[in-house]
Amino acid sequence: MTDTKQVLLTMALQQFVCSFTLVIIFLCKECGSKPGNSSSIITGQDATPGSWPSYAAIVIVGFQFGGSLINDQWVLTAASFIPLDTLTEWVPTVYLGGYNLSGSNPNQVNRTVENIICHPEFDFTTLENNICLLKLSAPVNFTDYIQPIYLPSENSTFNNECSSWIIGLVYNSDGTFTKTLQEAKVPIVENNECKGIFQGSYPKITENMICAGDNDSCLFTYGAPLMTKRKSVWLQSGVLSVSACGAFPSVFTRVSPYQKWISDTVTGTAPKFFTFTSPDNSTSPTTM
């Protein structure tokens, strides 16, 4: 790639990231959040190395996005993670088993991306069907630090206040990333309640979305996985689409409606799907 093309691509990426960051800032100001003096406006916490072995960091020209490993050669992320017209100029690199941006990662491996298949009905303006699959250039070996995540089947239900975790890197207020992988425990917000919260705001909440979060979910990188646990099984209930804060929950693409599309698209070992049913003592189920 020539220096001129690299500069143009970097500018395009910066414009793309900034456009989404402006949406986040608008939502935060709407709910009256108080700006701090610190460079960090995130209240998540450092994840323990190896605690989220399915997490995938997707890197393009220094910009980072989130994803998750679903078999030995495929990663699930958001379709909006990057303007698709720039991908002919730069191949994303996926890092697995890593933890620290600035330190040693002895358990980390990386792969370039061989193929990108986003949902054919993804709508950038509404963020409907904001889901994408990346095929890695070669399979990875599973270790204690690299493992695929279970996915929810189509008939899964996630009740209001059901505890989940969002995993990924986060943006600081100065535009930099946190140096270590972050985790934040967040409650699921039932879809009807979420529709009311976002009434008149962006995006319009649909049944293909799931809402979760509070102040702890601000500014996680796009594509970050939402993880939910039932008994001893962790699965990925959502893919981060809009990162919000304060009175606004974050909005995720709900994974369960896309079971057939994922199964039909992924080659090699089939991803593992699991029917998730929230505990009976939770309130108002949010389905699909």
Please, are residues 216 and 184 in contact by the beta-carbon 8 Å criterion?
Answer: yes
pLDDT on residue 35: 30
Q: How many domains does the chain have?
A: 1
Tell me the pLDDT tens digit for each residue of 229-273: 877 889 999 999 988 766 789 999 999 999 999 999 999 999 999
Given a cut of 50, is residue 4 above it in pLDDT? no
Distance CA 66, CA 70 (A): 13
Tell me the pLDDT tens digit for each residue of 94-121: 999 987 877 788 999 999 999 999 999 9
CATH of the domain at 137: 2.40.10.10
Q: Tokens in use for 174?
A: 């100065």
Tell me the pLDDT tens digit for each residue of 135-144: 999 999 999 9
Which pLDDT band, with edges at 50, 70 and 90, does 280 fall under?
low
Given a cut of 70, is residue 85 above it in pLDDT? no
Which pLDDT band, with edges at 50, 70 and 90, does 14 fall under?
very low
154: how many CB neighbours lie within 10 A of its CB? 14
Domain enclosing residue 194, as ranges: 1-288
